[in-house]
Structure 1
Amino acid sequence: MSMEPTLEHRDVRHYAGIPIQVTLRDWGRANALVPELYEWLARNGIEPLGGPVYRYRSIGDEARPFDLEVGVPVAAPVTGDGRVEAGTLPAGQYAVMIHHGHPDQLGKSHAALQQWVEERGLAPGKTGEGPAEVWTARYETYLTDPAEQPDLAQWSTEIAYLVDETP
């Protein structure tokens, strides 16, 4: 189940992230970066500002890899170390939806948000088409703390796509 999408203006958001290319079959490799990032932030005395962010540059599937960054939001740009990099989600108008339920069902919410964007004549921030399309800012933010709610079916995840400023 998901909440109805909305349009929101957002300011620049910074994160510390690790880029990765991974297929759905190997998605555990992406998830394994989350504790590594929180540990890196702690070692460097940087306060996280929320749950993990998965920023999608290009979309894959079971065979074709996703190009993404797994990150953790922070107040200001970080100085990376070669593995961890400074990331920025640009300011702008975003189509936003909250997905309630297991992360394995996020694909349905992404499809609903994409349809909502198209129905309103909004242009998602991306270049290219098909497997070559690259998103300017398409991301998920995990709103549920797994330490407080271990049941994935009870999780909430925000999905956001940067869209053209003029609908």
Structure 2
Amino acid sequence: MPQIIEFPARHYVGIRATVTMTTFGVVADRLGEIFAWLAERGAPPAGGPFFRYFVIDMKGDLRVEGGVPVATPVEGEGDIFAATLPAGRYVTETHAGHPDQLIDATAALLAWAESQGLRFDMTREPDGEHWGSRLEIYHTNPEEQPDMNKWETELQFRLA
């Protein structure tokens, strides 16, 4: 059952890209690079990696970030930037299972929110849905659990 949780602003470092559903690896494949970059600077991650969706057009382009949270701000370098997730009330739900099932899990979360009369920090534009803060946070380390059917992914969508 989804919950509504108030989150403070949260620091992270990440990379940005415009991708499609078939080229999503352009972002996903660089998460390891971000972890290594943080380790070189002695800045430990403060949680699991995430994808932040800014613009979603499932049949076209997606503007996304791949990020890793940090406890204190870290200065970016090159195409790795430092930023902050906005504070606010988020609808959150944890999905247990293969990431391929996230489309259905997301649809269920959106349907639940609509049934509750909730509005997200999102606008519909000609190029797709523009989100203030829509996250998929990966809580399972693939090196410790290679079976993707056992992964836990948290969805966090900020409310308007």
Deviations 1:40-60 (CA, angstroms, capped at 9, x unpaired): 111122110121110000113
Alignment match, 2:120: 124
2:25 corresponds to which residue? 28
Aligned to 1:54: 51
3-state SS, counterpart of residue 36 of structure 1: helix
Secondary structure (helix, strand or coil) at the match of 2:75 reads coil
2:57–2:129 contact (8 Å) kept in structure 1:
no
Indicate the structure with greater strand content. 2
Distance in 2 (CA, whole Å) between partners of 1:5 and 1:23 is 28
Distance 2:128 2:142 in 1: 34
Partner of 1:45: 42
Cα-Cα RMSD: 1.3
Identity %: 43
Is 1:17 the counterpart of 2:22 in the alignment?
no
Which ranges of 4 or more aligned residues in structure 1 deviate by more than 3 Å?
128-132
Cα drift, residue 132 of structure 1: 3.4
Q: Distance in 2 between matches of 1:82 and 1:40?
A: 11
Give the conservation status (yes or no) of the 8 Å contact 2:48–2:68: yes
Q: Report the AA paired with residue 72 of structure 1.
A: V
Deviations 1:59-99 (A, max 9, x none): 133x5121011000101222111311112111111000101
TM-score, length of structure 1 as denominator length? 0.91
Shift, 1:148, TM fit: 1.1
* Paired residues of 2:55 and 2:128 also in contact (CA < 8 A): yes
How far does residue 30 in structure 1 lie from its aligned partner after superposition? 1.6
Maintained 8 Å contact 2:57/2:128: no
5+ residue gaps, structure 2: none
Q: Indicate yes or no: 2:79 matched with 1:83.
A: yes
Q: Aligned pairs, how many? A: 160
Distance 2:73 2:145 in 1: 30
Shift of 1:144: 0.7
Distance in 2, Cα, partners of 1:28 & 1:137 = 21
Residues in 1 aligned to 2:148 and 2:105: alpha-carbon distance in whole angstroms = 16
